Structure 1
Amino acid sequence: MNLPLWCLLITALLPFWLAFWGSSVRRREFGHLDNQHPRQQYAQMEGKGARLWAAQSNAWEALALFTAGIVAVQTTASGGWLADVACIVFVLARIGHGLCYAMNLATLRSAIFCVSLVAVLCLFATAFL
């Protein structure tokens, strides 16, 4: 498996990591996990738990765009080292994005989001070249 596909795997696992982290916060906040109505329980969360829920949702959304970028690079057999660097930057940025969401660092989170977006645009650019 090449580096972009490894990065895709890591990116696909990020929402699950955020979900597990959010579940531990949810358990602490409510004293239990409501597995019958978890989304309703998440909707009642505040603070760190609510931010982790939002980070998880954002991670799913980012996964779609990153997947499209990887598909573009893989189907055109292009990219090389630039695609590899863009993939690594994207993964590191998305990990940082989730951490910033949890720690309530909104401005830094937004800046990191922009970095991850530029990384995906770079993937598409390498596919077009």
Structure 2
Amino acid sequence: MTLANTCLIVAALLPIVCAGLAKSKGFGKRRRDGGYDNHNPRGWLSTLQGWQARANAAQANSFEALPLFIAGVLAAQQMQAPQDRIDLLAASFIGIRLVYIAVYLADLATLRSIVWAAGLACSIGLFFLR
């Protein structure tokens, strides 16, 4: 398995990590006491505020970023681009997405947008490797 293929798995798990962070406010509490409501999870998540609400938004954005990244890695491999370059862009994407999640949770909106653009550039760059 290549590093890029491992990065595909990590990228697919990042939204789940964000979901766990968002839901952590409700862990250990009964539903009637404001704990996580598995009967109405989206409704419960919509009531979150602060960093938990941003974690939920980071979850959604992580899912949104995933298809282009997956397509980029697979296209680059299909075009037989140098694997070391594919691995570099894929690993960079993961690192950037980790920073993205951190700055999202910290509510650094401008920096978040810049970091998001860098992640997008990695995904698009995969399509142009030679």
Q: For residues 32 and 114 of structure 1, what CA distance do their matches in structure 2 show? A: 35
Distance 2:15 2:86 in 1: 23
CA contact (8 A) 1:26 1:42 kept: no
Consecutive unaligned residues of structure 2, counting only runs of 5 or more, are: none
The change in CA–CA distance for 1:78 and 1:115 in structure 2 (over 3 A counts) is: same
The normalised TM-score by structure 1 is 0.91
Query: Which residue number in structure 1 is paired with residue 105 of structure 2?
Result: 102
- Is 2:18–2:59's contact at 8 Å kept on the other side of the alignment? yes
1:15 is aligned to: 15
The aligned residue for residue 54 of structure 1 is: 57
Aligned to 1:75: 78
Q: Secondary structure at the match of 1:81?
A: helix
Instruction: Tell me how far apart the structure 2 counterparts of residues 53 and 18 of structure 1 sit (CA, whole Å).
Output: 6
* Closer, same or farther: CA 44–28 of 1 in aligned 2, 3 Å: farther
- Runs in 1 of length 4+ with deviation above 2 angstroms? 25-31
Does residue 41 (structure 1) correspond to residue 44 (structure 2)? The answer is: yes
The gaps in structure 1 that reach 5 residues or longer are: none
TM-score (norm 2): 0.90
SS of residue paired to 2:128: helix
**One-letter amino acid matched to 1:12:** A
Higher helix share: 1
Distance 1:91 1:32 in 2: 31
Task: Give RMSD over aligned pairs.
Answer: 1.7
